[in-house]
Chain A
Amino acid sequence: MMSLSRTMLLATLVCLMPGIAGAQSVAQMLQDMNSAYTNHSYDGVFSYYTGGELASLRVVHKQVDGVQRERLVHLNGAPREIIRRGEVVSCIVMPGDDLIALEKSIPAGPFARAFVRQFDQIPDIYTVGTFGEGRAAGRTAVRVAISPKDQDRYGYRIWIDKETSLLLRSELIDHRGQKLEIFMFNQLLVGDDVEDSALEPEGVSGGMVSHLTLQATDEPWQPPATAGSAQSMPSAWSTHWLPTGFAMTDSHMRHKPGSVSQVSSLMFSDGLAAFSIYVEPMPKAGAASMLSQNGATVAVTHQIEEQGQYFLVTLVGEIPVETARNIVTTVHQKKG
């Protein structure tokens, strides 16, 4: 049957194309895409599909008097806006919104706007290649596929605007080809036509504002005060196993808001995917081992015992469930 050979031919072509495109040029395209985020002014509406839900958002970005400004507006459901002016991020939400529960100040690394942060690592753990041209938001785009070489992370298909290098569409795909998240511009205005006024919040009546600050510096990892104190906690945590290419990018110990209990948090990234591990003393009321998933984000809670003390370990990240389980069960206290 003709259809068979046709499909097989296509399969062969797809397998060969990444080799033809060359990893170097694709890496350059991704670099350009990152800088396009900050270098261009744009005002667009995009769809975001995750966890079985579809949302519409408007994003406006412009540099005004040397300050990066951005506005993200949730167009359906309860009003939500995220406004960013330089390093200050404000969330405007309605009373009762969960985002109010955010911590007031979130430590952050150096200011970096990135889709991919460690390009040099990418070819080791992902296969990258271009797949011709496509269209998104009425613009011509170059299609790029980023496929993991193992099953411990997800793949991406992205559409990069040919003219401006802006990301027009991206899909997060599991190893079976199912789309877990889709981000897609429906309409996009790029360039000087973007108005300053589009950056101003709409001022929804009854809305409340919560500020977050992007801090250039952060308090470094602090071991707990003194050994033997009432709140003594193991100084550091580690994992016996990590998927290839993942490295720790961040570690903190913080108090839970409104509580004296301390939570250690570790963040790991392979340059594209990321997950966090939280370790806290087992609450007196106990806690269940559980797993929940929302789109590509998975959360696994697991209980461990170290030197007669029980701890609750929770992994949250955009990685496959099996991988998350495999990692969380190897969390242990560092010796020494």
Chain B
Amino acid sequence: MTEQLRESLSAAMDDEADAFELRRVLDEARQDSDLREQWYRFALVRDVIREDMQNYQPGLRESIWQALNETGDPDADATQPLRDVSVDPQKNQRSPWIGRLTGTAVAAVVAVLVMANGGVFDSEVEPAADYAGVQPSLRSSDLAPVMYQQATALDQQRQQALMLHHIQQRAMNEASLASFVKVATFRSAPTPAPAELNTGQSPSQQ
């Protein structure tokens, strides 16, 4: 990593980088794992100091890449895409956070993230809606099984039941507030045959 890049990164972390400089850091970071690590460390430090919550949504960096890729036209003025994505009056109204975040390049990227993630603070998606038979669209982070081989609904139910058992067991063992919270907010993936949840076994099992 060059000294100049390090300075650009540092400036970006301090919200002092212009859009062009930020863009360059983002491009470099895509190929340079050292730079990415440095970024994580700077961000962590800054986060601890500032108590920022919005900077660490899971999937933040991926969302930034995605958002930039979708809006970034290499032939266009490098400063333009970043400004454009931060201005979405409708979204701004929905989240008071975004209104405060516009203005600087880094803030614009964070705003993109909040939007790209479908709005972490958007209460329209109700976690328990699927219990009533309504299946909300699942986002990629939601219990999406990564299969080594074809997993059936039964496989998912089995894992789900054990997941619930684990968090419940923890709650009963530790009796801590945090562990009860896990039970209270447990959300299973929609399954086609909920009746079999009680057994967790295939009908052919004796």
Interface residues of A (CB under 8 A from B): 1, 3-4, 6-8, 10-11, 14, 37, 48-55, 57, 59, 61, 70, 72, 74, 76-78, 80, 82, 84, 89, 91, 94, 96-99, 101-103, 106-109, 111-115, 117, 131, 134, 143, 145, 157, 167, 170, 173, 176-180, 182-183, 212, 214, 249-250, 256-261, 265, 267, 274-276, 278, 283-285, 287-294, 297, 299, 301, 312, 314, 316-317
Binding stretch for chain A, among B74-82, B87-95, B100-108, B152-160: B152-160
> Can you report 9 residue pairs joining A to B where beta carbons are below 8 Å apart?
A3-B13, A7-B14, A14-B48, A51-B141, A51-B187, A52-B139, A74-B184, A101-B198, A312-B158
Given contacts A10-B45, A52-B141, 13 further A-B pairs with CB under 8 A are: A4-B10, A14-B49, A49-B120, A52-B142, A61-B177, A77-B127, A98-B186, A179-B53, A183-B181, A214-B175, A283-B205, A292-B143, A297-B182
Instruction: Name, among A37, A106, A258, A294, the residue most crowded by chain B CB atoms within 10 Å (CB to CB).
Output: A294
Contact yes or no, B143 A177, CB < 8 A:
no
Who on chain B is nearest to A61 by CB?
B177
| B-side contacts of A98, CB under 8 Å | 131, 160, 164, 186, 188, 194, 197
Contact yes or no, B174 A112, CB < 8 A:
yes
CB distance from A1 to the nearest CB of B (A): 5
Contact yes or no, A284 B204, CB < 8 A:
yes
| B-side contacts of A250, CB under 8 Å | 169, 173
Partner of A76 from the list B13, B126, B158, B204 (CB cut-off 8 Å) is: B126
| A-side contacts of B180, CB under 8 Å | 70, 72, 82, 84
| B-side contacts of A212, CB under 8 Å | 168, 172
B147 near A: Cβ within 8 Å? yes
Who on chain B is nearest to A81 by CB?
B184
Instruction: Name, among A77, A179, A250, A297, the residue most crowded by chain B CB atoms within 10 Å (CB to CB).
Output: A77
B97 near A: Cβ within 8 Å? no
| B-side contacts of A278, CB under 8 Å | 162, 165
Contact yes or no, A48 B164, CB < 8 A:
no
Total residues of chain B contacting the partner, CB 8 A: 92
| B-side contacts of A112, CB under 8 Å | 174-175
B64 near A: Cβ within 8 Å? no
Contact yes or no, B152 A288, CB < 8 A:
yes
Contact yes or no, A288 B155, CB < 8 A:
yes
| A-side contacts of B51, CB under 8 Å | 134, 143
Contact yes or no, B40 A314, CB < 8 A:
no
A108 CA / B171 CA spacing, docked (Å) = 9
Partner of A317 from the list B155, B156, B166, B181 (CB cut-off 8 Å) is: B166
Partner of A179 from the list B45, B56, B172 (CB cut-off 8 Å) is: B56
Contact yes or no, A299 B201, CB < 8 A:
no
Who on chain B is nearest to A300 by CB?
B159
A215 CA / B137 CA spacing, docked (Å) = 39
Tally of A-B Cβ pairs under 8 angstroms: 276
Partner of A53 from the list B48, B145, B168, B187 (CB cut-off 8 Å) is: B187
Q: B1-41: which residues lie under 8 A (CB-CB) from chain A?
A: 6-7, 10-11, 13-14, 16, 40-41
A51 CA / B185 CA spacing, docked (Å) = 10
Q: A287-B155, A288-B149 are in contact. Are A259 and B201 (CB under 8 A)?
A: yes
Binary contact readout B47-66 vs A (1 if CB under 8 angstroms, 0 otherwise): 11101010011111000000
A70 CA / B178 CA spacing, docked (Å) = 13
A265 CA / B164 CA spacing, docked (Å) = 13
| B-side contacts of A53, CB under 8 Å | 125, 127, 142, 185, 187
A293 CA / B141 CA spacing, docked (Å) = 8
Instruction: Name, among B41, B160, B181, the residue most crowded by chain A CB atoms within 10 Å (CB to CB).
Output: B181
Partner of A170 from the list B47, B161, B178 (CB cut-off 8 Å) is: B178
Who on chain B is nearest to A289 by CB?
B148
CB distance from A158 to the nearest CB of B (A): 10
Contact yes or no, B127 A76, CB < 8 A:
yes
| B-side contacts of A177, CB under 8 Å | 40-41, 43-44, 47, 56
B146 near A: Cβ within 8 Å? yes
| B-side contacts of A52, CB under 8 Å | 58-59, 117, 120, 139, 141-142
| B-side contacts of A259, CB under 8 Å | 199-201, 205
Instruction: Name, among A10, A91, A117, A134, the residue most crowded by chain B CB atoms within 10 Å (CB to CB).
Output: A10
Partner of A54 from the list B7, B40, B121, B128 (CB cut-off 8 Å) is: B121
B85 near A: Cβ within 8 Å? no
